[in-house]
Chain A
Amino acid sequence: MKYAVSSWIYADEPFGEIFNRLSRFGYDGIELVGEPERISVREIRTLLQSTNLKVSSILTWCIWGIPGRDMASPEREEREAALLYGKRCIDLAVDIGASIVVVLPAPAGRTAPVGNPKNPQLWKKARDLEWKLAVESIHKLAEYAHTSKITLALEPINRYETYLVTDVQSALMFLKDVGAPNLKLHLDTFHMNIEEANLNGAIQQAGDLLINMHISDSNRQPPGKGHTDFSALFYALKEVNYQGFLVLEPVPSGSDPLLMVNIPENIDLRDTFAQQSIQYLKQIERQLA
């Protein structure tokens, strides 16, 4: 397996330190948060060369509350801004030699249709409209990605972070509606623990559409600190002949992960978690081999 860490868990830490950490603990790559304005392509290229790491993927940072990142918004201007943002992330991927961009149909943190209608029938109607709008947005983005030879990976996230695409089943329906050959699937073990009836079954269902993965334990801590069965995960990944990265996102428990990773007494955990995660997973890999 190829291992990476998603850079968002290190907040505003300089890239030099992040690359150094991942290289030191034996990682193969890094997933970069999609903030094209804040990333120096030159700096990243230099670091990639000096550390020998690869960019596994670009993670679009579509968070509810950041304007211009909502592909499902009923407001045309918001959707157009989100589409433009997605295109800038694809450009970034091209510039730094990544081939995958992870996308969300609606921003993380928005758990109801815009306006959150109280009447269940109106709620359902608003939901169906947003689904259609998100399909249109992602379709356009996939066309743009196609000309740049980039593959998009759609991520289902859990019910507390979205309401639109929460599991493999709804993600596959979304993919079908979009109908673009370069739109594939991303899965996340933390979200799967909440939403999927069966981890193995979900991965089988995703099959060869699965091209990128986020990995953390059931409590979002490093693998080994919760109850997710990683042996079963590796077994399932082998069955579907998974060739992508395992992108780790281990964070301390708590209601606000971005706050938890920035608490001064948690800074040392950045090294500890990065090391524990890869050690634990490689040990399981060895046992299975």
Chain B
Amino acid sequence: MKYAISNWIYGDEPVEQTFERLSRLGYDGIELMGEPKLYDPKQIRELCRTYGLQVLSIAGIYPWPTMERDLSNPDVQVRKYAINYLIECVDFAQSVESPVIIVVPSAVGKTSPVGNFGDEEEWIAASEREWKWAVQSVQEAAYHAAKKGICLAIEPINRYETFLINTCEQALKFIGEVNSDAVGIHLDSFHMNIEEPDPYSAIKHAGKRLLNVHIADSNRQSVGRGHIDFKSLLTALFEIDYHGSLALEPLPPVSDPYIAIRLKRYNHLKDIFAEESIRNLRKIENQIKESMA
């Protein structure tokens, strides 16, 4: 397995500090926030060389409410901005040699289609329309991504963060409709714990289409602090011959992650969580390898 950490969990920490931590603790790479304007690609490439790390993925950022990053929005102009944002991410990914970008096809935090609805049937109809628009938006972005050799990975997130795609099964249906070789799936152990009837089967079901993985324990803290059966998840990843990265997102124990990452009293957890997460996962990985050998 290749290990990374997604750097949004470190808030506005200077990126060199993150590279230093990950290199020191034995990580293989980093997942960068999809905020191309925040980074100088030349500096990132130099940091990669200096610290012996790779940019393994780009985490697209789609915070609701937004007029610029909602791929399923009924307003065609909003969708155009969102597609352009993804195209900027594709260029950024190419410039830092990242193979994959995570795509959430309706903005994060948007738990209902746009609009007001008289009854449940109208809500469902609006939701189906947004699905179609999201498919079209991703098709358009995928066309550009394919030309540059970059892949897009559709991420199902839990019901409290989106109404559109919550499960691997829904994501598979979605990429089936997009129908592009440049589009696959991203799965996240924290979200799977809420939405998947069986996370092991979800990974098996994704199979070859699984391009990237987020890892946090059931309470979004570091691996070992919750109840997720990581042995079962890693076994599934071995069985599908997964070669992507495990991008960790261990957060401090505060209900709102965006407050959590800015509270100074949790600064000391950055090293502790990064260290114990990779240690615990490597241990499980080695146990599986031994039992398979």
Contacts and interface: CB of A to CB of B under 8 A. Distances in A.
Interface string A184-207: 000000000111111100000000
A111 to B, nearest CB: 6
Given A198-B227, A219-B197, A264 B121 contact: yes
B194 A193 contact: yes
A246 B197 CA distance: 21
B194 A256 contact: no
B218 A194 contact: yes
B163 A159 contact: no
B256 A111 contact: yes
Contacts of A221: 197
Contacts of B227: 193, 196-199
A244 to B, nearest CB: 23
A218 B263 CA distance: 30
Interface stretch (A58-66, A92-100, A160-168): A160-168
A228 B148 CA distance: 43
Contact of A197 (B120, B121, B195, B226): B226
A254 B120 contact: no
Interface residues of B, number: 33
A253 B195 contact: yes
Interface residues of A, number: 32
Contacts of A166: 255
A255 B225 CA distance: 27
A163 B123 CA distance: 28
B166 interface: yes
Interface string B70-108: 000000000000000000000000000000000000000
Interface in B214-242: 217-219, 225-227
* Majority DSSP secondary structure for residues of B touching A: loop
Given A112-B256, A225-B197, A160 B219 contact: no
A195 B259 CA distance: 17
A216 B11 CA distance: 35
A256 B262 contact: no
B120 A263 contact: yes
Contact of A264 (B120, B159, B219): B120
Interface in B182-228: 193-199, 217-219, 225-227
A275 interface: no
A40 to B, nearest CB: 26
B39 interface: no
B32 to A, nearest CB: 24
A179 interface: no
Nearest to B158: A160
A114 interface: no
B43 to A, nearest CB: 28
A76 interface: no
Contacts of B194: 193-194, 218-219
Interface string B118-135: 001101100000000000
A259 B263 contact: no
Nearest to A217: B197
B193 A194 contact: yes
A162 B255 contact: yes
B262 A120 contact: yes
Contacts of B259: 112, 120, 123
Nearest to A262: B120
Of B112, B259, B262, the most chain A CB neighbours within 10 A belong to B259
6 contacts: A159-B255, A160-B160, A194-B193, A197-B226, A219-B195, A227-B196
Interface of B: 111-112, 120-121, 123-124, 158-163, 166-167, 193-199, 217-219, 225-227, 255-256, 259, 262-264
Given A253-B166, A264-B120, 9 more contacts: A111-B255, A120-B262, A120-B263, A163-B255, A193-B194, A198-B227, A221-B197, A255-B159, A264-B121
